[in-house]
Amino acid sequence: MHDRNVTRPRVVVLGAGFAGLELCTSLAEELGDRLVVTLIDQAEAFVFGFSKLDVMFGRETAAAVRLPYSDFSKRGVTFKRETVVAIDPVTRRVTTNAGIHEADVLVIALGADYDASSTPGLALGENEFYTVAGASRLRDELATFSRGHAVVGVCGAPYKCPPAPSECALMLHDHLVKRGVRNDCRITLVNPLPSPVPPSPDTSRALIAAFAERGIDYLPSRRVATVNSERKAVLLDDGRELPCDLFLGVPRHCSPRVVVAAGLTDDKGWVTVDPPTLRTPHAGVYAIGDLANTGAPKAGVFAEGTARTVAANLVAMSRDREPTARYPGAGSCYIEFGGNRVARVDVDFFSGPKPTGTFQEPTLALVADKKNFGSSRRARWFGSS
């Protein structure tokens, strides 16, 4: 690894999301006690991103989707619930609210934060569904929403899980139909992307057809710039105003402030890396997951791929082998189409001259596949099913 003079190299991993959990699990499997791995996160529990839609639409309770980090137990890995307050990428020193951690290898996997302040009227935990608190609050709002205009609005791109706003609109339709109030409600989806899933025209066409079939208005290449709850309206970035009785928002995403303060971000606001290896310009420092500017989407399966790449290379170096693993930039995303059906799109960003996506039509069978995606990772990371 980085320092051959250290008997047991110290690997410090910041962030226990998809990337951090998979990295630590992979290192534990391959090297175990040959490393001293410290995993740091300020939260008490992990939550799958797709579980927030389950919470919002009453499929699961907020308590049921929490996976406590106290259940994460891997050989050679110590979890610390601390808040990172400073990162020195040159010395690989991390300062938290509880002390200082020195690393031979530092892996930054703090994910993407939410910048609600850039969208006036958007409030985390209230009118967005990308936090558990926000999904829970909107669940209560949806229970009484029976008439008016609901806007599913994205406030900026890129954002985590590109299909999620489309899923939200389709699941909202089903929710209102089930309650018998759909005819009294209008649904509009506002998204800054040119199509629902740009790498896959087939997936985008299927989603647009599903919107049309259900009477959902779809406004591409637009973002929500302001939410005015008093006037019950949202203002789009092109100056257009929409009536809005219920707003279900996707906040603008950004790198965590501590990462920006460390001078690790580029002019787009994300951490500069060599995409195939996830190395930053600083020796012994890697960035994986949503905050790494790889050119691939911000989604759990892609974060997992970055973690596996770095893990494979760290294992190789620990065994005095050439680190040859390269991040493939490929993965599969499940998409809720409503009607208890799930579709899948397999996306490849790096193999060809441009990104490609292969679409699998929504079926009941893919519902089971999606459940297995979640349960297999729960079992792998937390030893539960």
What are the residue boundaries of the structural domains of the chain, listed by start?
A: 10-112+255-318, 117-253
Q: Kindly report, residue by residue over 269-320, the tens digit of the pLDDT.
A: 999 999 999 999 999 999 999 999 999 999 999 999 999 999 999 999 999 9
User: Which CATH architecture describes the domain 10-112+255-318?
Assistant: 3-Layer(bba) Sandwich (3.50)
- Fold match between domain 10-112+255-318 and domain 117-253: yes
Q: Kindly report, residue by residue over 200-211, the tens digit of the pLDDT.
A: 999 999 999 999
Q: How many angstroms separate the CA atoms of 158 and 155, rounded?
A: 10
Residue whose C-alpha is closest to residue 122's, from 253, 22, 216: 253
Query: Average pLDDT of the chain?
Result: 96
Q: Does domain 117-253 have CATH number 3.50.50.60?
A: yes
Q: Rounded mean pLDDT of 92-117? A: 98
Rounded to two decimals, what is the model's pTM? 0.95
DSSP assignment string, 157-209: SS-SSTTHHHHHHHHHHHHHHHTT-GGGEEEEEEESSSSSSTT-HHHHHHHHH
Asked if 119 and 155 touch (Cβ cutoff 8 Å), the reply is yes
Angle of CA points 93, 303, 385, to nearest 5°: 110
User: What's the one-letter identity of residue 36?
Assistant: V
* Model pLDDT, residue 188: 98
* Model pLDDT, residue 5: 45
Non-local CB neighbours of 227 within 8 Å, separated by 6+ positions: 119, 120, 121, 122, 127, 153, 234, 244, 247, 249
Residue whose C-alpha is closest to residue 148's, from 57, 42, 232: 232
Q: How confident is the model at residue 114 (pLDDT cuts 50, 70, 90)?
A: very high
Q: Kindly report, residue by residue over 341-367, the tens digit of the pLDDT.
A: 999 999 999 999 999 999 999 999 999
Residue 149 has pLDDT above 60, yes or no: yes
